[in-house]
Structure 1
Amino acid sequence: MTGNDMTRQMKAFEQQVQTLPADYQDAWQLIQKTVWSRTDLTGRNLMPIFDGIVDLMTEAAADGLSVTEALGDDIAAFADNVAATSGAQNLQDRWRATLNRRVAKKLGRSL
């Protein structure tokens, strides 16, 4: 997947979200901010996460559910949990892993 592919995919997600009710569109903005904080250097790891969330939102809207019924009261926490469960690490997670590896190396242990 190239940068252009990612750009096209994000535009496709945006177009799909634009067909949803306004509360879903607002939630999408918050979801993007939250999930992008868990990117690797390229962001490619996030495309499947975004795809799943957009599909969930589309189905929930089609079923007539409000955004809070579909995603919960804390949308940022929902997005962060989905990203974390999918294995995407935030900067703090990466720093923690690096620190743990370095400490283990100094102590002569392996992780």
Structure 2
Amino acid sequence: MSIKDIIKGKKEWRAHVARVKALPQDYQIVYKEIQKYLFKGGSGELTDGMVLFSGIIDLFEEGAALGKGVLEVTGSDVAAFCDDLVKNSKTHADIYQESVDQEVNKVMKKVTDKTK
């Protein structure tokens, strides 16, 4: 990662935080809880979490502009809302299991190749 990439990432993050701070208070609270939920127990495929979180902010900005309360946007079960966001994503355990399987298969292939 180059210095330019780091600087660009910091600028994007600052812009992201500014968007969150511009939301009404109830939206900010729920956004932060969603963020915690997804970081702790969410998808292991959040490699580009900025896309997911920017999408949530887009949704929240639209809801706020329409005068809706945040729970009108997410529903009263915010955890279920989060789960729906990542329902087709792999978990950390799935990703780890795949990496273990790949390593075992690689080693077994080497062993098999040597015995031939």
| Superposition TM-score, scaled by structure 2 size | 0.67
CA distance in 2, matches of 1:27, 1:3: 28
Displacement of 1:94 in angstroms is 1.6
2:52 pairs with 49, 52, 56, which one? 49
Q: CA RMSD in A?
A: 3.0
Is the CA contact (8 Å cut-off) linking 1:36 and 1:46 kept in structure 2?
no
Displacement of 1:96 in angstroms is 4.2
Amino acid at match of 1:55: D
Pick closer, same or farther for the CA change 1:55–1:79 going to 2, 3 Å: same
Is the CA contact (8 Å cut-off) linking 2:23 and 2:61 kept in structure 1?
yes
Select between 14-23 and 3-12 the one with higher mean Cα deviation: 3-12
Q: Tell me, what secondary structure is at the counterpart of 2:86?
A: helix
Q: Which residue of 1 aligns with 2:16?
A: 13
How many equivalent pairs are there?
A: 103
5+ residue gaps, structure 2, are 106-116
Displacement of 1:7 in angstroms is 3.1
Deviations 1:46-78 (A, max 9, x none): 111111111000000111111111011122331
CA distance in 2, matches of 1:98, 1:55: 34
Amino acid at match of 1:90: T
Whichever of the two has the greater Rg, that structure is 2
Matches within 5 A, 1:12-91: 12-37=15-40, 38-39=43-44, 44-85=47-88, 87=89, 89-91=90-92
Q: Tell me, what secondary structure is at the counterpart of 2:30?
A: helix
| Superposition TM-score, scaled by structure 1 size | 0.69
Pick closer, same or farther for the CA change 1:84–1:63 going to 2, 3 Å: same
Higher helix share: 2
